[in-house]
Amino acid sequence: MACATNASADSLERLHEDLEAANMAPTWKYISSFISKSPRVGYRPWLWKWDEVIPLLMRSGELITPDRGAERRSMEHVNPDLGFSYSASHTIATAFQLVRAGERAPAHRHAAGAIRFAARSHGGAVYTKVQGERLMMEENDLLLTPSGMWHEHANETAHDIVWLDVLDFPLVNLLQASMFQPGEGQVAPDRPDGFSNERLGLFRPPKDFPYPEAHPVLRYPWTQMREALHSMGREAEDRHEGVLLEYVNPLTSGPTLPTLSCRAQLLRGGMRTAARRSTSSTVYFVIGGEGATVIDGVTFPWARGDVFVVPPWSWHEHAAGSGEAYLFSATDKPVMQALGLFRSESFEENGGHQAVLSSFRA
C-alpha cells in the first residue's frame, strides 16, 4: 500500500479497522477497486452452435408444455462466466424458444423488454399477440414486446417453430426493477392485424404532439430489411460493419427499444471488416451464410443459426465466407449512450486486423 499520510503505520492500521467496524471504507486504500483505467470486463466471448443446442430444445418438446407455470418452452444461452444471471452478456439474455404445431403460450407481461427474431418459420398463422394485435412471424421477421406490454404466442400451423428471444432482463435485474404479471382476462382488447404497421407508415406526429403509444411499430418484416440492405450500395459499406441497418422506432428515429438496439448487417462474399471495440456488449445471431468473427484474437467460425456474444471493450472483426452473410444483432449501446458512457476505438495496427485468417470452416 502506497499512501501519503502523516499518521504512523500503527495508528493508520487502527483507523482502517475502526472504519471497517463503522461500515466505512477509506478511498485512499480502495480507489483502484472503485475505478479502473479501462473497463473491467468479467466475461468471455462465447459461441453457441445451432447444431448443438437445437437438439436439446427439441428434447424438451415432449417434456415441457408452455402452459401457466412453465410459461415458455425456451432455453437461455448462458455465458460460462455469467451463470448467476443466466445470460449471454451482462445486460442481454438470448434464448431459443420452441412452439409446436397447434400450441399456445399464455399471455403475460413484464418490466423486461423483449424482441423475437423468427429464426425458423414456415409462415402461416404463427404469431405473437402484443396488446391484442397478432404479429405474424414470417422467417427472420423481428417482433417487439416492449416493457410492460401484454404478449402471448400461438402456432396454428402444422409446423413447429423455433425463434430467438432477446430480453434485457439481466439489466433490469441489475437495476432491481423486475416485475411480472400473468394474464387473467385483463389482457388488451383485440386489434386488427396490421394495426401498428399501418397507422404511421411514412408519417409521424411532430415531436411535441402527444401520441398514445411509445412503440408504434411492433413488426419489422425481413423481406423489407433484406431489400433495404441490398439497396444500400457500395457507398454505404462501412469498414467496420459492412452494410448495417438499425431497426428504428419511427416515432423517435431512436433505437428499437430503450435498452436494446437491433440491427441487421450484410457482409458481402469475402468481406473482411476492420476491428474495433466499444463499451457496449452485443449478441449476434447468424441469419444466413458462413463466416467468422475474431474476438480478442480468437477466431469464432459461424454458420446459419449460431449465436455469439462480444463483451464490452473486446476487439472484434467479421469475415464472410465466399458467399453473402447476414447477421442479426442486439446491443446495449442505447443504454451506454443515454448514460454518456459510450466510447469506441478502431484497431489501427496491421491494417485493422488482429489475426491472420487463412481459412476457416463454420
Rule CB under 6 A: say whether 167 interacts with ligand 1HN.
Answer: yes
Rule CB under 6 A: say whether 72 interacts with ligand 1HN.
Answer: yes
Burial of 189 per CB tally in 10 Å (0-12, 13-18, 19+): exposed
Contacts of 147 (CB under 8 A, 6+ apart): 110, 111, 112, 113, 257, 258
Region from 30-38, 119-127, 163-171, 253-261 binding ligand 1HN, contact rule CB under 6 A: 163-171
Q: Considering beta carbons, is residue 151 or 219 the nearer one to ligand 1HN?
A: 151
Rule CB under 6 A: say whether 260 interacts with ligand 1HN.
Answer: no
Rule CB under 6 A: say whether 151 interacts with ligand 1HN.
Answer: yes
Contacts of 296 (CB under 8 A, 6+ apart): 45, 314, 315, 316, 354
- Tell me how far, at minimum, the Cβ of 98 lies from ligand 1HN, in Å: 11
Sign of the Cα torsion 293, 295, 297, 298 reads negative
- Tell me how far, at minimum, the Cβ of 300 lies from ligand 1HN, in Å: 24
C-alpha distance across the termini of the chain, in Å: 49
- Tell me how far, at minimum, the Cβ of 13 lies from ligand 1HN, in Å: 48
CA 173, 178, 180 angle in degrees (round to 5)? 140
Binds ligand 1HN by CB under 6 A, chosen from 165, 306, 324, 332: 165
**DSSP state for residue 173 in the 8-state scheme:** H
- d(Cα 76, Cα 78) in Å, to the nearest integer? 6
Region from 52-60, 162-170, 239-247, 321-329 binding ligand 1HN, contact rule CB under 6 A: 162-170
Pick from 127, 122, 285: nearest CA to 196: 127
By CB under 6 A, the residues from 75 to 114 that bind ligand 1HN are 95, 97
Rule CB under 6 A: say whether 141 interacts with ligand 1HN.
Answer: no
Binds ligand 1HN by CB under 6 A, chosen from 45, 74, 106, 256: 74
- Judged by the rule CB under 6 A, the positions of this chain that interact with ligand 1HN are 72, 74, 95, 97, 151, 153, 165, 167, 169
